[in-house]
Every structure is written in structure tokens, then in C-alpha cells.
A and B are shown apart, each in its own frame.
Chain A
Amino acid sequence: MTSIPDSRPLTVAASHGVHDHQFDDSAQQQEAATLGMWLFLATEVLFFGGLFTGYTVYRSAYPNAFGEASRHLDLVLGTVNTGVLLLSSFSMAMAVQSAQLGKRWRLLGFLTSTAVLGAVFLAIKFTEYVHKFHEHLVPGSQFVFSGPESPHAQLFFSFYFAMTGLHALHMIIGIVMLAVLMVLTLANTFGPEYHTPIETIGLYWHFVDVIWVFLFPLLYLVSR
């Protein structure tokens, strides 16, 4: 491969906007960041995929137990939580739009409401966990489930806690990142020129939301 030295200097050209030294311009940096986040989400799909596979295997092996156990989940709280999360995704989408328009205070407002809705989701989830604990539906030696399907029902609750727990962990990480974005917004980091972090964290937030959209019917609605 022969190469002819290019006339373009390596120093950062001011007209290209703010970007890290390894990139030629901010457009390249934004494309790279977006592709990076999509790839990360692909790894997340595979990460949750292991659990979804396990769930599918056991549900087809023990359909009655999974149905019966599923009816012990709180449909009202689950539905409300689905609504809360979808609303948070709407709020996140509005935050991205505000950033694109350069409306700083609106951006801050939507970031805050997204994080608050996320926190509400976690609070409701926590309440559900406490109920399950009192009803002795947490897998382990304290697990009590009447009927012949008891061991297999415990498997259902293993998946319930593993999947919703992992999802909740992702929500917590998301809320922390939203808090960082709020601080950066206050520091006037973002504008119509540069708002890649808002978009990539937005992608992450929507992804976590989509995971729940699959979890809700699989766990709460399988036999209703």
C-alpha cells in the first residue's frame, strides 16, 4: 500500500466543532459514538437472551406451573409500571428533541422527569418484591407454594427475580447516567451542535424499556 502524505494538517480545525483528537470532525465522532452504543445494546440483547432462552425452555417444559405461578404476580402494579416506563421513554424522546433544538431548561426538565419516572418504577417494583417476600414466594429455603407444582413454580420465581432484578439493575445504571447528563446540562455542555451523549443514553433508556415490554407479558400475562 503506497500512501501519499495528505496535505490536511492533523491539528484540530476549529471550524469542525468540538471533537476528540482521534477524530477528523464532530460528525465522525458522533457516528462512532452512536455505532458504539448500538453494539453495546447488541451485547445486552445476548446478555438477556440467555435468560429468555432459559425461561422459554422451562415454560415449555412446565406450562401449568408457570401459569399458576404467574397468577401470583400483581397484575395491577405490573400494568401501572408498564405505563410508567413507557411514559419515561416518551420523556426521554422529548429530552433528545429539546437537546437538538438547544432548549436547555426544557432538556433539563425532561431529563429530570425521565429519571423520576424511572425511580417511580423502581419504587413500585420494590413494593412488589416486598409482597413476594411476605408471601414466601422468594426462591430458597423459605419458599412456600401449595400444590404439586411447587418446585417448578419456584423455577418460575427464580426467573422472575433474575430477570426483573437484572432489569432493575439496568434501570439504576440508567438513572445514574441521567443524573450525570443533568449535571452536564447545567454546565451548559449540550447544544444543537453537540448532544451525542443525550442520544446514546436515550438509546440505552429505550432499550431497557423494550426489555420490560417483553418481560411484562412473559411474566405477568402468560396465563391470563
Chain B
Amino acid sequence: MTHANVPENYLNASWGWRSWLLTRDHKRIALLYLISITLFFIVGGFFALLIRLELLTPAGDLVQAETYNKLFTMHGLIMIFFFLIPSIPSVLGNFLIPLMIGARDLAFPKLNLLSWYIYIIGGVFTLAAVVTGGVDTGWTFYTPYSSTYANSNVILTALGIFITGFSSILTGLNFIVTIHKMRAPGLTWLRLPLFIWAHYATSLIMVLGTPVLAISITLILLERSFHIGIFDPKLGGDPLLFQHLFWFYSHPAVYIMILPGMGVVSEIVTCYSRKKIFGYTFVALSSLAIAALGFLVWGHHMFVSGASPFAGMVFSMLSFLVAIPSGIKVFNWTATLYKGSISFDAPMLYALGFIGLFTIGGLTGLFLATLAVDVYVHDTYFVIAHFHYIMVGGAVMAYFGGIHFWWPKITGRLYPEVWARIAALIVFIGFNLTFFPQFLLGYLGMPRRYHAYPEEFQVWNVMSTAGASILGLGYLIPIIYLLWSLRYGRVATENPWNAMGLEWQTPSPPPESNFAATPIVTEEAYSYDIHT
């Protein structure tokens, strides 16, 4: 990308490691995040690989039970806190929010860089815990095991998660202020791209939820270091209080991971159907509804923890309500496709995959919100399959779709379309082969978090491991051709997909200050019908 004939852009405006590590440009910070979360994705994927290899055979032969506990704990922690939560917001959100609203940068560029450093410091603490013996509490840190009995690196890990949380808080704060105060002239709230609405809702959860995780972890650290007894039953403390505090953040955290993906899908589906989104206002406000309802449903993680039946019924009912705004999105995307001029480019394949897989993940979520069914499948592979359909089938699919869609804007190069379509199909097949058998396993009664299992479950486990290998290949191919495209990919024009949206009206890659002059917006978003 170093050709002399390339016009000045954010990539070639300055050189040297200082110009990257001390940058305040949101686009460069997005790339710092892109590189670091990809590394964490590989580490987390490595743990998943070991888990799947162990489960290939019924006997616990590859690793011991204790090691297995550490593997699933570290897989969960790294994938959730260091990949999924920052993935779309910190990479695509960081890069695109100022571009989509016609601003020169986020409101607080220094804070943006600081949040990357905080993320890295938190990551270093967590990785240090991993290499010095690991942690085995499960990503949920349930008390009193985590506070009293666990012999692994709880303190170091918890500190890492605590620190990373502040990265999330600062990113959310930066986005909210930016969206409120930095929009280009004419860009009213109801003209905003749905990507922006999704990130606004996500940021609200980051800002209001993450501090509760921070205080819960602080209390665990205090309990473990000073034995203050807040969660210790011996002193009249209540371990369930920790679960309440933890899930008050960690259920909404699910929406931190999925809402940005929904924003990406809205952008892709409209572009590749050449149609205005169906029911803009409903799709926009359903993001806020998901964020708001998300704070009221944490009790559905505790149906079998001994909470009162009345609380269980209330939480069950509230959990069903989340299906309404989620359903609105799925139906509206589908209605957008109707009579659209659809093309099946790679980003669209990921987006369509998202819609289908998210629907399966969401509907099985309703099974789990039903009290009686949850008692039966609680802590089985049914739950594992359910949330992987949301997290991997949903969030990761959207992330890959988004990376492909905006790759030309980010790098100035086109990815190879044929390879990308093949990879998208491999991911889809591999994903379903990995996780659909887990629904069956869970329904047949295989519990999660065990390294050995009865022989009758082996068929499904072999299928799942085979699927995971295919899925791994599906993730490897894009990493290779995207790196290849940096040097050999075709040079991208300003707007290779003929897409609407302000980010496509500036050169690829954009200049340092994003636009030559502040754009003025005169239309609603997604005016594909008018301009094709």
C-alpha cells in the first residue's frame, strides 16, 4: 500500500510505530483493535480446539478434569471479554461511527486511545493468569467457589476482566457523546443509519451495565483477599447475591455482543437487496427496546438457583418480551428482502446466515425462558448450543460480514469475491455441524462442563468436533486472503458496492480528517429505491 501514486489517506499520512501507538485517529485505533482482537480470537479458538479434541472420545483421555475446567473457563473469558464484546463496536464502530455521521473523529480521541491501552493491559493480566496456571471457575466466577475454594489464578484473572471493563465503559461513553453531539448538518436522529442506532443502544448497556460487573468483581477480590464475607454463607452472606449482580451485567452483555451485529446486518441487507429498510423506525427503536428489556431479565439464569417461584415466573415472562423487538428485526429484514434485487456477495451470505442462525438461537432461547423446560435442559449442551447460535452464528457471522463489507473502505483494497463466498459457505456448514448436534446432546441429557461422557453420546460429539474443524478452516481462509488482499487485492474505488451512507462518499481509504468538507444530509437512510 506504499505506492507513491496513492493519494494521502489515514494509512500513509504518517509513518513509524509512534504514529500508530500514539495515534488519536479513530481509524487507526480501530485497526489496533482489529489486530489485537484477532490475536485473542485465535487464542480463544485454540482453547475451543482442545475442548473439542477432548470430547472426541467418551473417556477423559486428552486432558484431566481439572485442565478441562480451565480450558472452558479460559475459552469463555477470552472469547467474551476480549473478542466478542469489543469486536464489532471497537473495530467497525470505531472506524465507521464518525464516518457515518459525517464527523472528523469521535468526541474524545485521547479517551479512545486510552480505552485501547486499558483493553491491552486487561488482556495482559488475563493472559498472565492463563500462562501461570490458568483459572477454573467458569467465566461466571460463581461464589463461594471463586471467592473461597478455587485454587487457581482467580485474582489475576478477575483483575484483568475488571480492567478491561473500563475499556468498554469508555468506548460506550465516547460513542454516546459522539452520536449526540457530532452529527453532520441535516443528519437527524431518524436519518441515522441503523448501524448507529444499534451502537447507541449497545453503548447504553456498556455504560450502565459494565460498572455493575466491576463492583461484583471488586467484591470477589475483596472477599478472596480479606475474607470480608459478603458472599460467605458462614457469616450470613448470600452467594446468590453475586449471581444477581453478575447477571445484571452479564445478561445485558449478550446484547452488547448481538446488537452491533444487528446494525451490520441492516446495512448489508439493504445494500444487497437495493431496497430501503422495511419499517426503519421500528428497527431503530427495537434496538433501544432490546437494551432496555435486557436489563430486566437476568433472573432467567437463576431458575434453578433457588430463587422464589414468583421471581422465576416474572423473569420468565420478561424474557419472553425480548422476543418481540428481536422478532421485529428479523421480520423487517425479511420484508426488506421481499421483491428486492438481491445479489449473493460474501457480506450478504454472512448477513443471511446471521438471520437464519440468530432465529434458531433466539427461538431456542424461548425454550430456555420457559420455567419447566429450563429445569430439564439447564446446564446441558442445549444451553451451549443455544448461546453459540447467538454468539457465533449471530455475532461472529455479522462481524465477518461487516469486515468484508467495509474492507475496501478500511484498506482501499477489494477482497477476492470467489474465495470469500466459498469461505462464507464453509463457515455456515461448519457452524451448523458443530452446534446443531449439541442441541440434541443437551436434549438427550449430556451436561456441560464435563470432560468425559457416556458412550451413547459419542456419535453427536464426533459430528460436533468434525464440524468445528470445518468451522476453523472457514475462519482461516478469510484471514489468509484478507492479508493477501492488502498487497495483491484490486484497488477499491470510493464506493465499490454502490452503497448509500456517508462513509461511501469519501475516498477509500479515507483521508485523515475523513471528509474534504463537512457533508450535509438531505435524505433518509437507505434511499436505494430512488438512486438505482
Q: Which residues of A contact B (CB under 8 A)?
A: 1-10, 20-24, 28, 31-32, 35-36, 39-40, 42-44, 46-51, 53-54, 57-58, 61-62, 139-141, 151-152, 154-155, 158-159, 161-162, 166
Counting CB contacts under 8 A, is B492 at the interface?
no
**Minimum CB distance partner of B214 in chain A:** A47
User: Smallest Cβ distance from A221 to chain B, in angstroms?
Assistant: 22
**Minimum CB distance partner of A43 in chain B:** B211
Contacts A6-B517, A6-B520, A58-B236 known; list 14 others, CB within 8 Å.
A2-B522, A2-B527, A2-B531, A22-B182, A32-B177, A35-B180, A36-B107, A42-B207, A44-B211, A47-B212, A49-B212, A53-B245, A151-B236, A152-B235
Query: Contact: A1 with B501, CB < 8 Å?
Result: yes
In Å, the complex CA distance between A137 and B513 comes to 59
Counting CB contacts under 8 A, is B64 at the interface?
no
Query: Contact: A1 with B185, CB < 8 Å?
Result: no
Query: Contact: B212 with A46, CB < 8 Å?
Result: yes
Q: A21-B104, A21-B105 are in contact. Are A1 and B230 (CB under 8 A)?
A: no
**Minimum CB distance partner of B184 in chain A:** A3
Instruction: Work out how many contacts link A and B, with CB atoms closer than 8 A.
Output: 165
In Å, the complex CA distance between A54 and B104 comes to 44
What residues on B are CB-neighbors of A154 within 8 Å? 228-229, 235
Counting CB contacts under 8 A, is B518 at the interface?
yes
Q: Which of B231-247 contact A (CB under 8 A)?
A: 234-238, 241, 244-245
In Å, the complex CA distance between A1 and B111 comes to 30
Query: Contact: A3 with B235, CB < 8 Å?
Result: no
In this complex, the member of A3, A6, A32 whose beta carbon has the largest number of chain B beta carbons within 10 angstroms is A3
Query: Contact: A10 with B227, CB < 8 Å?
Result: no
What residues on B are CB-neighbors of A32 within 8 Å? 107-108, 177-178, 180-182
Q: Chain B 88-116 against A: per-residue CB contact (8 Å), 1 yes, 0 no?
A: 00000000001000111111110100000
In Å, the complex CA distance between A2 and B522 comes to 6
Query: Contact: A8 with B518, CB < 8 Å?
Result: yes
Query: Contact: A161 with B173, CB < 8 Å?
Result: no
Query: Contact: A151 with B235, CB < 8 Å?
Result: yes
Counting CB contacts under 8 A, is B422 at the interface?
no
What residues on B are CB-neighbors of A44 within 8 Å? 211
What residues on B are CB-neighbors of A47 within 8 Å? 211-212, 214-215
User: Smallest Cβ distance from A12 to chain B, in angstroms?
Assistant: 11
Query: Contact: B104 with A10, CB < 8 Å?
Result: yes
Counting CB contacts under 8 A, is B129 at the interface?
no
User: Smallest Cβ distance from A66 to chain B, in angstroms?
Assistant: 11
Query: Contact: A43 with B208, CB < 8 Å?
Result: yes
Query: Contact: B227 with A57, CB < 8 Å?
Result: no
In Å, the complex CA distance between A27 and B23 comes to 25
Query: Contact: A155 with B236, CB < 8 Å?
Result: yes
What residues on B are CB-neighbors of A10 within 8 Å? 104, 513, 515-518
Query: Contact: B209 with A3, CB < 8 Å?
Result: no
Counting CB contacts under 8 A, is B216 at the interface?
yes
**Minimum CB distance partner of A40 in chain B:** B173
27 A-B Cβ contacts within 8 A?
Answer: A1-B500, A1-B501, A1-B502, A1-B522, A3-B184, A3-B519, A10-B513, A22-B98, A22-B106, A23-B107, A28-B181, A32-B182, A35-B176, A36-B111, A43-B208, A43-B211, A46-B211, A46-B215, A49-B215, A54-B245, A62-B236, A139-B228, A151-B236, A155-B237, A161-B228, A162-B228, A166-B218
What residues on B are CB-neighbors of A23 within 8 Å? 107, 182
User: Smallest Cβ distance from B176 to chain A, in angstroms?
Assistant: 6
Query: Contact: B229 with A43, CB < 8 Å?
Result: no
User: Smallest Cβ distance from A207 to chain B, in angstroms?
Assistant: 13
In Å, the complex CA distance between A151 and B400 comes to 53
What residues on A are CB-neighbors of B229 within 8 Å? 139, 151, 154-155, 158
In Å, the complex CA distance between A5 and B273 comes to 28
